[in-house]
């Protein structure tokens, strides 16, 4: 099973939105996917509870749940939605489990400051340094017309890490959160042009699916 961690120590960076849509992307490709909710708020788990019947199956798991049902599902991929403030021993435990990491960040000075510290922490792990656990960045809630977006681009350019998407603060993500439906289960007329912004993420995931 391939394990992908969505993480940033900064709260409000869009981790749950990214994790739920990543799970939906994989499930829509007929990949048996489990969404692991490590956040005490259990926002991802509640999203799954709202997911309509008939949509591609996504299994859910929290640390309070029994593993038997998930093991019976025999997932091929696990998407981990992590809590804010992930560091120290909790980050150590997570790093022992995962194969890929996606770090979302928003265009604000506070987000960028926190992300610097988090990326420095990730760089301390041998699996990251040796390229055995690839790290990718997602610019989240970006309005390209703003000075903040330009500052974020300058920040991203300072790192030798792939930036696999620039996502907007689009209303469709609010609808996805409320209905349990990721972008990829919505009619294309409702999800455009946001689905197109996921093309680099789909390519990155596709490369690791192989």
Question: How confident is residue 68, by pLDDT bands cut at 50, 70 and 90?
Answer: confident
Cα 58 to its chain centre, rounded Å, is 15
Sign of CA dihedral 67, 58, 2, 73: positive
How high is the pLDDT of residue 142?
Answer: 92
Give pLDDT tens digits for 32-60: 999 999 999 999 999 999 999 889 999 99
What is the rounded CA–CA span in Å between residue 60 and residue 79? 10
DSSP letter assigned to residue 164 = E
Here the CATH number for the domain that contains residue 70 is: 3.40.50.300
CA 16 vs CA 74, 128, 155: distances in Å: 23, 23, 23
Residue 21 is predicted with a pLDDT of 97
Looking at the whole model, is its pTM more than 0.85? yes
Residue 161's domain comprises 2-209
- How confident is the model over 79-126, as pLDDT tens digits? 999 998 888 999 999 999 999 999 999 999 999 999 999 999 999 999
Tell me: cis bond preceding 193? Omega within 30 of 0 counts. yes
Q: Are 77 and 2 in contact (CB under 8 A)?
A: yes
Per the structure, how many domains does the chain have? 1
User: Rounded to an integer, what distance in angstroms lies between the CA atom of residue 54 and that of residue 67?
Assistant: 24
Q: What is the pLDDT of residue 193?
A: 85
To 10 degrees, the CA torsion angle through 160, 161, 165, 169? -90
Distance (Å, whole) CA 101 – CA 6 = 6
Residues in contact with 159: Cβ distance below 8 Å, sequence separation at least 6, in sequence order: 119, 137
């Amino acid at each position: 099973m391939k394990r992908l961690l969505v993480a940033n120590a900064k709260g409000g960076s869009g981790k749950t939105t990214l994790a739920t849509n990543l799970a939906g992307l994989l499930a829509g490709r007929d990949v048996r996917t489990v969404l692991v909710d490590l956040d005490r708020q259990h926002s991802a788990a509640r999203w799954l509870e709202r997911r309509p019947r008939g949509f591609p199956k996504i299994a859910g798991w929290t640390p309070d749940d029994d593993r038997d049902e998930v093991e019976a599902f025999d997932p091929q991929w696990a998407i981990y939605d992590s809590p804010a403030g992930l560091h120290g021993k909790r980050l150590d435990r997570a790093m022992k489990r995962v194969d890929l990491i996606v770090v979302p960040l928003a265009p604000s000075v506070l987000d960028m400051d926190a992300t610097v510290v988090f990326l420095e922490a990730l760089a301390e792990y041998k699996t990251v340094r040796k390229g055995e656990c690839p790290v990718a960045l997602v610019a989240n809630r970006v309005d390209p017309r703003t000075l903040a977006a330009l500052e974020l681009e300058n920040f991203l350019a300072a790192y030798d890490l792939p930036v696999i998407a620039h996502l907007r603060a689009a209303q469709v993500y609010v609808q996805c959160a409320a209905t349990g439906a990721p972008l990829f289960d919505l009619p294309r007329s409702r999800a455009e042009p946001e689905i197109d912004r996921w093309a680099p993420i789909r390519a990155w995931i596709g490369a690791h699916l192989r």
